[in-house]
Amino acid sequence: MSARERLADGLYGAGWSTVKKLPEPAAVRLGRTVADLAWKRRGTGVRRLEGNYARVLPDAGPERLAALSRAGMRSYLRYWMESFRLPAWSTERIRSGFVPEGLRHLTDGMDAGKGVVLALPHLANWDLAGAWVTTELGIPFTTVAERLKPETLYDRFVAYREGLGMEVLPHSGGTAFGTLARRLRDGGLVCLVADRDLSASGVEVDFFGETARMPAGPALLALQTGARLLPATLWYDESPVMKGRVHPPVEVPGSGTRAEKTSVMTQALADAFATGIADHPEDWHMLQRLWLKDLDPAKAPAAADGQGAP
């Protein structure tokens, strides 16, 4: 393990062991302080965040983008402060921490018994939304996690999410898709963060007027298993309660090859994601390269920034 990997593992370990013990107001203040310090340094992640926001708001000037990136870093650190503290939250705190719209799309899909694929972008706190699903709705689900370095850090993330009631599969290794398909055929729920391709074989989509690549997995799973495909978006407001929306199901095209249907359905996901991001851009935590124009074609998309972990 390199010195950098040891440092990363130690920092995340300290976050989970220390921040979760803080009173909530103190954790909120700490997150805002760290966010403002990181924003003032204007490191690679902050500059990339601003560049991504410029795609979302092409008419925004430098002052607007700077203000937005500051708000974005505060939102990002709110995610981390909440995530560090989630294992210590009571059942009631989790249940009261999230209010979604359009929940019937999810519950109706589960009642149909054919499984549901819930796909969402890096908006607000997807871990809190997942904990709410397992706690308030009592619905277990399966998800996929990117393998991080060092392995001890990846193990921390897996243990953390499993502690919230999720089944976590590694993204690499080639077996995740088959396991996800089996869960869906059994009528289960699969939740996937799906706005950033972690392979070189994603689907090209139009995203805020430019070409980006998003994972084909959600659409392929729905096509192969007959599961309902649902986009979801999340956001914060000034309250301690996160908000969210489950969008209507993505329709399966009536004709075309599997590749053509996958492309159309993935574009529909991208369109739903864009709606949520445009409404709440400061809550989109995309500190990596996403659009093809920004990617080095000699590298895989997931490695373009060298940022496997947030």
Domain count for the chain: 1
Say if residues 216 and 203 touch (Cβ distance below 8 Å): yes
- Structure pTM? 0.90
How many C-alpha atoms does 288 have within 13 Å on its Cβ side? 21
- The enclosing domain of 256 has a CATH number of 3.40.1130
- Residue 157 domain flag: yes
Would you state the pLDDT for residue 307? 36
Would you state the pLDDT for residue 212? 96
- Residue 299 domain flag: no
CA distances to 115, 143, 192 from 135, in Å = 19, 16, 18
- Tell me if the bond preceding 150 is cis, omega within 30° of 0: yes
The CA distance from 269 to 285, in Å, is: 18
Domain containing 30 equals 3-293
Would you state the pLDDT for residue 308? 36
Contacts (Cβ under 8 Å, ≥6 apart) of 22: 30, 85
Single out the residue of 209, 126, 37, 232 nearest to residue 45, CA to CA.
37
- Residue 249 domain flag: yes
- Residue 216 domain flag: yes
Q: Three-state DSSP class for 101?
A: strand
- Residue 307 domain flag: no
- Residue 51 domain flag: yes
- Block residue for tokens 């998309």: 301
Burial class (CB in 10 A: 0-12, 13-18, 19+), 259: exposed
- Residue 300 domain flag: no
- Residue 68 domain flag: yes
Q: From the first residue on, what is the mean pLDDT of each consecutive set of 10 residues in the chain (310 residues)?
A: 73 76 90 96 96 96 96 96 89 96 97 97 96 96 78 72 85 81 97 88 94 96 97 95 98 95 98 98 96 71 39
Q: Which two tokens stand for residue 164?
A: 């919230």
